Structure 1
Amino acid sequence: MPTSSETIGEARRLGTATLHEAAGRIGALPSTIKPVDPGMTLAGPAFTVHCPALSNLQIHHALYHARPGDILVVHVSGGVEAGYWGDILNEAAMAQKLGGLVIDGGVRDTAGLATMGFPVFSNGVCIRGTGKDYDATAWLQQPVRMGEVLIQPGDLIVGDRDGVFALPMARAEEVVEAGRRREADETAKIEAIRRGERTLDLYGFANGAPTAIVEGLPFTGRAR
Protein backbone atom coordinates (compact mmCIF):
# COMPACT_ATOMS: atom_id res chain seq x y z
CA MET A 1 0.00 0.00 0.00
CA PRO A 2 1.27 3.51 -0.74
CA THR A 3 2.34 5.64 2.20
CA SER A 4 -0.57 7.86 3.29
CA SER A 5 -0.40 11.62 2.90
CA GLU A 6 -0.80 11.95 6.68
CA THR A 7 2.23 9.74 7.32
CA ILE A 8 4.27 11.62 4.73
CA GLY A 9 3.35 14.97 6.28
CA GLU A 10 4.26 13.79 9.77
CA ALA A 11 7.56 12.38 8.50
CA ARG A 12 8.42 15.77 7.03
CA ARG A 13 7.58 17.46 10.33
CA LEU A 14 9.61 15.06 12.46
CA GLY A 15 12.71 15.42 10.29
CA THR A 16 15.51 13.20 9.14
CA ALA A 17 17.56 12.91 12.33
CA THR A 18 14.58 11.86 14.46
CA LEU A 19 13.39 9.34 11.87
CA HIS A 20 16.87 7.89 11.39
CA GLU A 21 17.16 7.25 15.13
CA ALA A 22 13.58 5.99 15.44
CA ALA A 23 14.17 3.49 12.63
CA GLY A 24 17.16 1.97 14.39
CA ARG A 25 19.83 4.15 12.79
CA ILE A 26 19.21 2.99 9.25
CA GLY A 27 18.40 4.86 6.05
CA ALA A 28 20.87 7.77 6.18
CA LEU A 29 22.01 8.67 2.68
CA PRO A 30 25.57 9.98 2.18
CA SER A 31 26.09 13.18 4.15
CA THR A 32 27.35 14.95 1.02
CA ILE A 33 23.76 15.08 -0.28
CA LYS A 34 22.35 18.38 0.93
CA PRO A 35 19.65 20.87 -0.17
CA VAL A 36 20.50 23.67 -2.59
CA ASP A 37 18.93 26.01 -0.03
CA PRO A 38 19.00 25.13 3.69
CA GLY A 39 15.30 25.86 4.08
CA MET A 40 14.23 23.18 1.60
CA THR A 41 12.44 20.07 2.81
CA LEU A 42 10.90 17.14 1.00
CA ALA A 43 8.96 13.99 1.80
CA GLY A 44 7.31 11.48 -0.48
CA PRO A 45 7.60 8.16 -2.29
CA ALA A 46 10.74 7.42 -4.28
CA PHE A 47 10.65 7.32 -8.07
CA THR A 48 14.04 5.79 -8.81
CA VAL A 49 16.18 6.65 -11.83
CA HIS A 50 19.42 4.95 -12.85
CA CYS A 51 21.41 7.13 -15.27
CA PRO A 52 24.58 6.34 -17.13
CA ALA A 53 27.42 8.64 -16.14
CA LEU A 54 27.27 12.12 -17.69
CA SER A 55 23.86 11.67 -19.34
CA ASN A 56 20.59 13.12 -18.09
CA LEU A 57 18.30 11.81 -20.85
CA GLN A 58 16.74 9.35 -18.44
CA ILE A 59 15.80 12.17 -16.05
CA HIS A 60 13.79 13.81 -18.84
CA HIS A 61 11.88 10.55 -19.31
CA ALA A 62 11.39 10.10 -15.57
CA LEU A 63 9.64 13.46 -15.29
CA TYR A 64 6.76 12.19 -17.38
CA HIS A 65 6.46 8.76 -15.78
CA ALA A 66 6.53 9.89 -12.15
CA ARG A 67 3.32 10.86 -10.36
CA PRO A 68 2.54 14.11 -8.54
CA GLY A 69 4.28 14.12 -5.18
CA ASP A 70 6.94 11.58 -6.18
CA ILE A 71 10.56 12.25 -5.25
CA LEU A 72 12.99 11.62 -8.11
CA VAL A 73 15.89 9.62 -6.65
CA VAL A 74 18.63 9.69 -9.26
CA HIS A 75 21.74 7.50 -9.32
CA VAL A 76 24.40 8.71 -11.76
CA SER A 77 26.69 5.66 -11.98
CA GLY A 78 29.60 7.44 -10.36
CA GLY A 79 29.67 10.35 -12.81
CA VAL A 80 29.41 13.00 -10.11
CA GLU A 81 31.34 15.73 -11.94
CA ALA A 82 28.43 17.06 -14.00
CA GLY A 83 25.35 19.22 -13.57
CA TYR A 84 22.50 16.84 -14.35
CA TRP A 85 19.76 19.25 -13.30
CA GLY A 86 19.17 22.95 -13.83
CA ASP A 87 16.44 25.53 -14.25
CA ILE A 88 14.77 23.87 -17.27
CA LEU A 89 14.31 20.52 -15.55
CA ASN A 90 13.26 22.33 -12.40
CA GLU A 91 10.45 24.10 -14.25
CA ALA A 92 9.38 20.84 -15.87
CA ALA A 93 9.29 19.05 -12.50
CA MET A 94 7.19 21.83 -11.02
CA ALA A 95 4.79 21.64 -13.95
CA GLN A 96 4.40 17.90 -13.26
CA LYS A 97 3.82 18.65 -9.55
CA LEU A 98 6.60 16.34 -8.41
CA GLY A 99 7.75 16.40 -4.81
CA GLY A 100 11.48 16.96 -5.17
CA LEU A 101 14.83 15.68 -6.38
CA VAL A 102 17.54 13.66 -4.63
CA ILE A 103 20.60 13.04 -6.79
CA ASP A 104 24.04 11.65 -6.00
CA GLY A 105 25.51 13.88 -8.72
CA GLY A 106 25.79 17.61 -9.32
CA VAL A 107 23.26 20.28 -10.23
CA ARG A 108 23.71 23.79 -11.64
CA ASP A 109 21.79 27.07 -12.04
CA THR A 110 21.61 27.02 -8.27
CA ALA A 111 20.95 30.74 -7.83
CA GLY A 112 17.60 30.18 -9.52
CA LEU A 113 16.95 26.75 -8.01
CA ALA A 114 17.31 28.20 -4.52
CA THR A 115 14.37 30.56 -5.10
CA MET A 116 11.97 28.44 -7.17
CA GLY A 117 10.34 26.54 -4.32
CA PHE A 118 11.11 23.06 -5.66
CA PRO A 119 13.29 21.05 -3.24
CA VAL A 120 16.58 19.96 -4.82
CA PHE A 121 19.09 17.83 -2.90
CA SER A 122 22.43 17.00 -4.51
CA ASN A 123 25.94 16.04 -3.55
CA GLY A 124 27.39 19.17 -5.10
CA VAL A 125 27.24 21.94 -7.67
CA CYS A 126 28.91 21.49 -11.05
CA ILE A 127 28.74 23.66 -14.16
CA ARG A 128 29.86 20.85 -16.47
CA GLY A 129 27.02 19.88 -18.80
CA THR A 130 25.70 16.40 -19.54
CA GLY A 131 25.08 14.59 -22.80
CA LYS A 132 22.19 12.46 -24.01
CA ASP A 133 23.35 8.85 -24.20
CA TYR A 134 20.69 7.08 -26.27
CA ASP A 135 22.55 3.77 -26.37
CA ALA A 136 23.34 3.33 -22.69
CA THR A 137 21.52 0.89 -20.45
CA ALA A 138 19.41 2.73 -17.89
CA TRP A 139 16.42 2.00 -15.68
CA LEU A 140 13.37 3.66 -14.20
CA GLN A 141 11.69 2.30 -11.08
CA GLN A 142 14.40 -0.24 -10.25
CA PRO A 143 16.41 -0.34 -7.00
CA VAL A 144 19.30 2.14 -6.70
CA ARG A 145 22.03 2.29 -4.08
CA MET A 146 23.26 5.50 -2.46
CA GLY A 147 26.04 4.89 0.01
CA GLU A 148 24.97 1.99 2.20
CA VAL A 149 21.25 2.38 1.45
CA LEU A 150 19.38 0.40 -1.18
CA ILE A 151 16.35 2.41 -2.25
CA GLN A 152 13.33 0.66 -3.72
CA PRO A 153 10.62 2.37 -5.78
CA GLY A 154 7.99 3.72 -3.40
CA ASP A 155 10.27 3.93 -0.36
CA LEU A 156 9.63 6.93 1.87
CA ILE A 157 12.19 9.68 1.21
CA VAL A 158 12.57 12.58 3.65
CA GLY A 159 15.01 15.46 3.28
CA ASP A 160 15.87 18.58 5.26
CA ARG A 161 18.94 20.67 6.06
CA ASP A 162 20.44 17.77 8.06
CA GLY A 163 20.43 15.35 5.11
CA VAL A 164 18.28 12.72 3.43
CA PHE A 165 16.64 9.63 4.93
CA ALA A 166 15.17 6.63 3.08
CA LEU A 167 12.86 4.04 4.62
CA PRO A 168 11.13 0.94 3.22
CA MET A 169 7.52 1.77 2.54
CA ALA A 170 6.28 -1.09 4.72
CA ARG A 171 7.88 0.46 7.81
CA ALA A 172 6.75 4.05 7.28
CA GLU A 173 3.84 4.18 9.74
CA GLU A 174 5.73 2.20 12.40
CA VAL A 175 8.78 4.46 12.25
CA VAL A 176 6.77 7.69 12.19
CA GLU A 177 4.97 6.55 15.35
CA ALA A 178 8.35 5.71 16.95
CA GLY A 179 9.52 9.15 15.86
CA ARG A 180 6.61 10.77 17.71
CA ARG A 181 7.58 8.91 20.88
CA ARG A 182 11.21 9.92 20.49
CA GLU A 183 10.21 13.54 19.98
CA ALA A 184 8.10 13.46 23.16
CA ASP A 185 10.99 11.93 25.11
CA GLU A 186 13.43 14.58 23.86
CA THR A 187 10.97 17.34 24.73
CA ALA A 188 10.74 16.00 28.28
CA LYS A 189 14.53 15.85 28.58
CA ILE A 190 14.91 19.43 27.35
CA GLU A 191 12.40 20.59 29.94
CA ALA A 192 14.34 18.71 32.63
CA ILE A 193 17.62 20.32 31.54
CA ARG A 194 15.98 23.73 31.78
CA ARG A 195 15.01 22.84 35.35
CA GLY A 196 18.67 22.21 36.14
CA GLU A 197 19.02 18.46 35.62
CA ARG A 198 22.14 17.00 34.03
CA THR A 199 22.41 15.00 30.83
CA LEU A 200 24.63 12.55 32.74
CA ASP A 201 21.72 11.69 35.02
CA LEU A 202 18.98 11.81 32.39
CA TYR A 203 20.77 9.25 30.26
CA GLY A 204 22.24 7.23 33.13
CA PHE A 205 25.82 8.13 32.25
CA ALA A 206 26.85 9.29 35.73
CA ASN A 207 28.08 5.87 36.82
CA GLY A 208 30.26 3.46 34.91
CA ALA A 209 31.48 6.03 32.41
CA PRO A 210 34.76 5.43 30.54
CA THR A 211 37.88 7.16 31.81
CA ALA A 212 38.28 10.70 30.45
CA ILE A 213 40.69 13.59 30.97
CA VAL A 214 39.26 16.53 32.90
CA GLU A 215 41.47 19.55 33.51
CA GLY A 216 44.52 17.45 32.69
CA LEU A 217 43.72 14.78 35.30
CA PRO A 218 42.34 11.25 34.90
CA PHE A 219 38.61 11.21 35.63
CA THR A 220 36.33 8.18 35.86
CA GLY A 221 33.16 10.10 35.06
CA ARG A 222 31.47 9.19 38.37
CA ALA A 223 29.62 11.87 40.23
CA ARG A 224 31.61 13.52 43.01
Structure 2
Amino acid sequence: MTTQPASATPSRAWPPGYRINPRADGPPPALVAAFRSMPVAAIGDAMSRNIGTYGLRQYHARLDTVLCGPAVTVRVRPGDNLMIHKALMMVQPGDVLVIDGGADVTQALVGGLMRTTCIAKQLGGLVIDGAVRDLVEWAEEGMPIFARGHTHRGPSKDGPGEINIPISCAGMAVLPGDLIVGDADGVIAVPAAEAEDVLRRTRAHLEREAAIRETNRTGTADPERFDAVLRAKGLPV
Protein backbone atom coordinates (compact mmCIF):
# COMPACT_ATOMS: atom_id res chain seq x y z
CA MET A 1 0.00 0.00 0.00
CA THR A 2 1.45 3.35 -1.04
CA THR A 3 1.02 6.63 0.81
CA GLN A 4 0.18 9.81 -1.05
CA PRO A 5 2.68 12.66 -0.62
CA ALA A 6 1.39 15.54 1.49
CA SER A 7 1.16 17.76 -1.57
CA ALA A 8 -1.30 15.32 -3.14
CA THR A 9 -3.65 15.23 -0.13
CA PRO A 10 -6.94 16.83 -1.18
CA SER A 11 -7.95 19.96 0.71
CA ARG A 12 -10.95 19.85 3.03
CA ALA A 13 -14.19 20.04 1.11
CA TRP A 14 -16.61 22.64 2.46
CA PRO A 15 -20.30 22.79 1.52
CA PRO A 16 -21.07 25.57 -0.97
CA GLY A 17 -21.15 28.94 0.77
CA TYR A 18 -19.32 27.76 3.89
CA ARG A 19 -15.64 28.01 4.79
CA ILE A 20 -13.76 28.29 8.09
CA ASN A 21 -10.05 29.04 7.80
CA PRO A 22 -7.59 29.29 10.71
CA ARG A 23 -6.93 32.64 12.34
CA ALA A 24 -4.13 34.61 10.66
CA ASP A 25 -1.44 36.23 12.79
CA GLY A 26 -1.31 40.00 12.44
CA PRO A 27 1.60 42.38 12.95
CA PRO A 28 3.73 42.06 16.12
CA PRO A 29 2.11 43.46 19.29
CA ALA A 30 4.60 46.34 19.53
CA LEU A 31 3.66 47.47 16.02
CA VAL A 32 -0.05 47.25 16.82
CA ALA A 33 0.53 49.36 19.93
CA ALA A 34 2.43 51.99 17.91
CA PHE A 35 -0.54 52.43 15.56
CA ARG A 36 -2.86 53.23 18.48
CA SER A 37 -1.49 56.77 18.56
CA MET A 38 -1.68 57.26 14.78
CA PRO A 39 -4.77 59.17 13.51
CA VAL A 40 -6.69 57.26 10.86
CA ALA A 41 -6.68 60.35 8.62
CA ALA A 42 -2.88 60.46 8.73
CA ILE A 43 -2.61 56.73 8.02
CA GLY A 44 -4.92 57.24 5.05
CA ASP A 45 -2.80 60.14 3.79
CA ALA A 46 0.27 57.89 4.00
CA MET A 47 -1.60 55.24 1.97
CA SER A 48 -2.58 57.45 -0.99
CA ARG A 49 -5.83 58.88 0.45
CA ASN A 50 -8.14 56.42 -1.29
CA ILE A 51 -8.17 53.50 1.17
CA GLY A 52 -10.63 52.94 4.01
CA THR A 53 -14.29 52.46 4.76
CA TYR A 54 -17.10 54.82 3.88
CA GLY A 55 -20.72 54.89 4.96
CA LEU A 56 -20.11 53.56 8.47
CA ARG A 57 -20.75 55.33 11.77
CA GLN A 58 -19.51 54.64 15.26
CA TYR A 59 -21.99 53.30 17.81
CA HIS A 60 -19.74 53.61 20.86
CA ALA A 61 -20.24 56.95 22.60
CA ARG A 62 -16.76 58.38 23.12
CA LEU A 63 -15.23 60.14 20.12
CA ASP A 64 -11.70 59.55 21.42
CA THR A 65 -12.08 55.75 21.48
CA VAL A 66 -9.52 53.98 19.27
CA LEU A 67 -10.07 50.57 17.68
CA CYS A 68 -6.81 48.83 16.78
CA GLY A 69 -5.97 45.17 16.20
CA PRO A 70 -5.53 42.36 13.68
CA ALA A 71 -8.52 41.42 11.54
CA VAL A 72 -10.57 38.28 11.83
CA THR A 73 -12.75 38.48 8.73
CA VAL A 74 -16.29 37.15 8.34
CA ARG A 75 -18.60 37.13 5.35
CA VAL A 76 -22.25 36.38 6.07
CA ARG A 77 -25.53 36.15 4.26
CA PRO A 78 -27.27 39.49 4.84
CA GLY A 79 -29.21 39.30 8.08
CA ASP A 80 -27.62 36.05 9.31
CA ASN A 81 -25.02 35.83 12.08
CA LEU A 82 -24.26 32.11 12.41
CA MET A 83 -20.64 32.55 11.32
CA ILE A 84 -20.16 35.58 13.56
CA HIS A 85 -20.94 33.36 16.53
CA LYS A 86 -18.41 30.82 15.25
CA ALA A 87 -15.77 33.50 14.72
CA LEU A 88 -16.21 34.62 18.33
CA MET A 89 -15.15 31.11 19.36
CA MET A 90 -11.90 31.56 17.42
CA VAL A 91 -10.75 35.08 18.27
CA GLN A 92 -7.86 36.01 20.53
CA PRO A 93 -7.74 39.05 22.84
CA GLY A 94 -7.24 42.23 20.83
CA ASP A 95 -8.58 40.87 17.55
CA VAL A 96 -11.01 42.97 15.51
CA LEU A 97 -13.99 41.31 13.83
CA VAL A 98 -14.47 42.74 10.34
CA ILE A 99 -17.79 41.62 8.89
CA ASP A 100 -19.04 41.81 5.32
CA GLY A 101 -22.80 41.84 5.72
CA GLY A 102 -23.48 43.05 2.21
CA ALA A 103 -24.38 46.56 3.45
CA ASP A 104 -27.80 45.21 4.43
CA VAL A 105 -29.54 47.04 7.28
CA THR A 106 -32.89 45.20 7.33
CA GLN A 107 -31.76 42.84 10.13
CA ALA A 108 -29.17 43.43 12.85
CA LEU A 109 -26.13 41.16 12.83
CA VAL A 110 -25.06 41.78 16.44
CA GLY A 111 -26.79 42.94 19.60
CA GLY A 112 -26.33 43.29 23.32
CA LEU A 113 -25.95 39.59 24.09
CA MET A 114 -23.11 39.29 21.59
CA ARG A 115 -21.55 42.43 23.04
CA THR A 116 -21.28 40.58 26.36
CA THR A 117 -19.43 37.78 24.56
CA CYS A 118 -17.12 40.28 22.83
CA ILE A 119 -16.17 41.81 26.17
CA ALA A 120 -15.58 38.39 27.74
CA LYS A 121 -13.32 37.48 24.81
CA GLN A 122 -11.47 40.84 25.14
CA LEU A 123 -12.19 41.61 21.51
CA GLY A 124 -10.52 44.74 20.14
CA GLY A 125 -13.72 45.87 18.41
CA LEU A 126 -16.05 45.27 15.48
CA VAL A 127 -16.41 46.76 12.01
CA ILE A 128 -19.68 45.74 10.34
CA ASP A 129 -20.98 46.47 6.86
CA GLY A 130 -24.45 45.78 8.18
CA ALA A 131 -26.75 46.67 11.07
CA VAL A 132 -26.60 46.49 14.87
CA ARG A 133 -29.21 46.69 17.61
CA ASP A 134 -29.34 47.37 21.38
CA LEU A 135 -27.71 50.77 20.88
CA VAL A 136 -27.79 51.78 24.54
CA GLU A 137 -25.55 48.84 25.39
CA TRP A 138 -23.11 49.48 22.54
CA ALA A 139 -22.84 53.11 23.63
CA GLU A 140 -21.29 52.02 26.92
CA GLU A 141 -17.50 52.08 27.19
CA GLY A 142 -15.48 48.96 26.56
CA MET A 143 -16.25 47.76 23.03
CA PRO A 144 -15.69 49.99 19.98
CA ILE A 145 -18.00 49.25 17.07
CA PHE A 146 -18.55 50.76 13.62
CA ALA A 147 -21.56 49.72 11.54
CA ARG A 148 -23.61 50.70 8.50
CA GLY A 149 -26.86 51.26 10.44
CA HIS A 150 -29.20 49.90 13.07
CA THR A 151 -32.58 48.22 13.43
CA HIS A 152 -34.52 46.40 16.14
CA ARG A 153 -35.07 43.43 13.78
CA GLY A 154 -32.93 40.46 14.81
CA PRO A 155 -30.88 38.04 12.68
CA SER A 156 -31.31 34.45 11.59
CA LYS A 157 -28.71 31.81 12.47
CA ASP A 158 -28.76 29.50 9.49
CA GLY A 159 -25.73 30.45 7.38
CA PRO A 160 -24.09 30.27 4.99
CA GLY A 161 -20.94 32.21 5.76
CA GLU A 162 -17.14 32.21 5.67
CA ILE A 163 -14.41 33.02 8.19
CA ASN A 164 -10.89 34.31 7.56
CA ILE A 165 -11.18 34.90 3.84
CA PRO A 166 -10.53 38.09 1.81
CA ILE A 167 -13.58 40.36 2.10
CA SER A 168 -14.84 43.78 1.13
CA CYS A 169 -16.21 45.83 4.01
CA ALA A 170 -17.79 49.22 3.28
CA GLY A 171 -15.61 49.77 0.22
CA MET A 172 -12.41 48.51 1.85
CA ALA A 173 -10.55 45.31 0.98
CA VAL A 174 -9.53 43.36 4.08
CA LEU A 175 -7.38 40.24 4.40
CA PRO A 176 -7.23 38.11 7.54
CA GLY A 177 -4.51 39.49 9.80
CA ASP A 178 -4.56 43.00 8.35
CA LEU A 179 -4.15 45.69 10.98
CA ILE A 180 -7.46 47.51 11.49
CA VAL A 181 -7.40 51.03 12.95
CA GLY A 182 -10.55 53.04 13.67
CA ASP A 183 -11.21 56.41 15.27
CA ALA A 184 -13.74 59.22 15.03
CA ASP A 185 -12.78 59.83 11.38
CA GLY A 186 -13.29 56.28 10.14
CA VAL A 187 -11.70 52.86 9.72
CA ILE A 188 -8.71 51.75 7.68
CA ALA A 189 -6.97 48.42 6.99
CA VAL A 190 -3.18 48.26 6.85
CA PRO A 191 -1.78 45.13 5.14
CA ALA A 192 0.19 43.19 7.75
CA ALA A 193 3.27 42.87 5.54
CA GLU A 194 3.32 46.64 4.95
CA ALA A 195 2.52 47.81 8.48
CA GLU A 196 6.06 48.79 9.48
CA ASP A 197 6.56 50.86 6.33
CA VAL A 198 3.13 52.49 6.66
CA LEU A 199 3.95 53.42 10.26
CA ARG A 200 7.17 55.08 9.13
CA ARG A 201 5.39 57.02 6.39
CA THR A 202 2.58 58.03 8.75
CA ARG A 203 5.04 59.45 11.27
CA ALA A 204 6.82 61.38 8.51
CA HIS A 205 3.47 62.73 7.30
CA LEU A 206 2.59 63.92 10.81
CA GLU A 207 5.93 65.74 11.02
CA ARG A 208 5.17 67.54 7.74
CA GLU A 209 1.68 68.43 9.00
CA ALA A 210 3.15 69.85 12.21
CA ALA A 211 5.38 72.18 10.18
CA ILE A 212 2.44 73.31 8.03
CA ARG A 213 0.28 73.83 11.12
CA GLU A 214 2.91 76.14 12.57
CA THR A 215 3.08 78.29 9.42
CA ASN A 216 -0.73 78.45 9.42
CA ARG A 217 -0.70 79.55 13.05
CA THR A 218 1.90 82.26 12.51
CA GLY A 219 0.65 83.42 9.12
CA THR A 220 3.93 82.58 7.42
CA ALA A 221 2.68 79.95 4.97
CA ASP A 222 4.36 80.11 1.56
CA PRO A 223 1.75 81.30 -1.02
CA GLU A 224 3.64 79.38 -3.69
CA ARG A 225 2.32 76.14 -2.22
CA PHE A 226 -0.96 76.70 -4.05
CA ASP A 227 -0.17 79.51 -6.51
CA ALA A 228 2.29 77.27 -8.36
CA VAL A 229 -0.46 74.70 -8.85
CA LEU A 230 -2.89 77.34 -10.12
CA ARG A 231 -0.33 78.76 -12.58
CA ALA A 232 0.37 75.28 -13.88
CA LYS A 233 -3.33 75.07 -14.76
CA GLY A 234 -3.13 78.33 -16.71
CA LEU A 235 -4.59 80.71 -14.11
CA PRO A 236 -3.01 84.20 -14.08
CA VAL A 237 -1.97 84.39 -10.41
5+ long unaligned stretches in structure 1: 213-218
Which residue, out of 97, 116, 127, partners 1:91?
116
Q: TM-score, normalised by structure 2?
A: 0.82
1:170 Cα deviation after fit? 0.5
1:20 Cα deviation after fit? 0.8
Are 1:70 and 2:95 matched, yes or no?
yes
Which residue, out of 161, 168, 183, partners 2:191?
168
Amino acid at match of 1:178: R
Q: Which residue of 2 is the match for residue 205 of structure 1? A: 226
Task: For 1:28-43, list aligned pairs within 5 A.
Answer: 28-30=52-54, 32-36=55-59, 37=61, 38-43=63-68
Are 1:109 and 2:109 matched, yes or no?
no
Task: For 1:110-125, list aligned pairs within 5 A.
Answer: 110-125=135-150
CA distance in 2, matches of 1:177, 1:89: 36
Q: TM-score, normalised by structure 1?
A: 0.86
Kindly, what percent of the aligned residue pairs are identical? 33
Q: Which residue of 2 is the match for residue 216 of structure 1? A: none
Q: Deviations over 1:78-97 (max 9, x none)?
A: 43322211111111011011
Q: Which residue of 1 is the match for residue 13 of structure 2? A: none
Q: Which residue of 2 is the match for residue 153 of structure 1? A: 176
Amino acid at match of 2:53: L
- SS across alignment from 2:105: coil
Question: Is contact 2:180–2:187 with CA below 8 Å preserved after alignment?
Answer: yes
- SS across alignment from 1:93: helix
- SS across alignment from 1:174: helix
Question: Is contact 2:212–2:221 with CA below 8 Å preserved after alignment?
Answer: no
Q: Which residue of 1 is the match for residue 46 of structure 2? A: 22
**Number of residues of Structure 1 aligned to a counterpart in Structure 2:** 211
- SS across alignment from 2:205: helix
- SS across alignment from 2:149: strand
Question: Is contact 1:207–1:221 with CA below 8 Å preserved after alignment?
Answer: no
1:121 Cα deviation after fit? 0.8
Amino acid at match of 1:109: D
Task: For 1:132-143, list aligned pairs within 5 A.
Answer: 132-133=157-158, 136-143=159-166
Question: Is contact 2:26–2:71 with CA below 8 Å preserved after alignment?
Answer: no
Q: Which residue of 1 is the match for residue 153 of structure 2? A: 128
1:151 Cα deviation after fit? 0.8
- SS across alignment from 1:145: strand
CA distance in 2, matches of 1:221, 1:120: 49
Are 1:13 and 2:37 matched, yes or no?
yes
1:153 Cα deviation after fit? 0.3
CA distance in 2, matches of 1:83, 1:115: 18
Amino acid at match of 1:63: L
- SS across alignment from 2:64: coil
Which stretch shows the higher mean deviation, 83-92 or 37-46? Answer: 37-46
- SS across alignment from 2:107: coil
Question: Is contact 2:98–2:126 with CA below 8 Å preserved after alignment?
Answer: yes
Distance 1:111 1:189, change over 3 A: same
